[in-house]
């Protein structure tokens, strides 16, 4: 009778160890999946920003000479882009700064902020990959 009881306890313990092993495996796979999904989402975000920048920046450049900007592009710049890019765009479109040198300087600042925003996403992706 004791042998049967020990056998039963052994089977139960073995089953519990197997379940714990499965739970640990599921947990680790879930963490890996979340990390991969986050990296994929960041890459998609970067790709979408690059596309939006490719559409908006030529229009912004045209607006420097034409003294007006397409409203859709302006709203995209103000609402969809990162804060640093929005601030640089607002500075560029400031009606008090009409001289050509200041406009060019502010346009280069806008381009610089665009590049920084893309580099920030790259750095975030790199950080997620390394951790």
Give a three-class secondary structure readout of the chain.
Answer: CHHHHHHHHHHHHHHHHHHHHHHHHHHHHHHHHHHHHHHHHHHHHHHHHHHHHHHHHHHHHHHHHHCCCCHHHHHHHHHCCCHHHHHHHHHHCCCCCCCHHHHHHHHHHHHHHHHHHHHHHHHHHHHHHHC
Q: Residue 100: is its pLDDT beyond 80?
A: no
Residue 53 has pLDDT above 80, yes or no: yes
Instruction: Give the model's confidence band at 45: pLDDT under 50 very low, under 70 low, under 90 confident, else very high.
Output: very high
Q: What is the mean pLDDT of residues 14-25?
A: 88
Position 63 scores a pLDDT of: 84
Domain map (residue ranges) of the chain: 42-131
Does position 101 have pLDDT exceeding 80, yes or no? no
Predicted local confidence at residue 56, as pLDDT: 92
pLDDT at 97: 64
pLDDT tier for residue 12 given thresholds of 50, 70 and 90: confident
Averaged confidence pLDDT in the chain:
89
Instruction: State residue 13's pLDDT score.
Output: 84
- Predicted local distance difference test score (pLDDT) of residue 67: 75
């Amino acid at each position: 009778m004791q042998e049967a009881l020990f056998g039963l306890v052994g089977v139960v313990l073995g089953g519990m160890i197997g379940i714990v092993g499965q739970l640990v495996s599921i947990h680790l796979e879930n963490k890996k999946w979340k990390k991969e999904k986050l990296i994929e989402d960041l890459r998609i975000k970067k790709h979408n920003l690059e596309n939006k920048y490719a559409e908006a920046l030529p229009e912004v450049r045209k607006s420097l000479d034409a003294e007006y900007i397409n409203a859709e592009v302006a709203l995209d710049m103000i609402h969809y882009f990162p804060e640093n890019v929005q601030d640089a765009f607002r500075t560029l479109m400031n009606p008090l700064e009409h001289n050509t040198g200041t406009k060019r300087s502010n346009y280069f600042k806008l381009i610089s902020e665009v590049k920084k925003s893309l580099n920030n996403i790259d750095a975030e992706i790199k950080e997620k990959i390394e951790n």
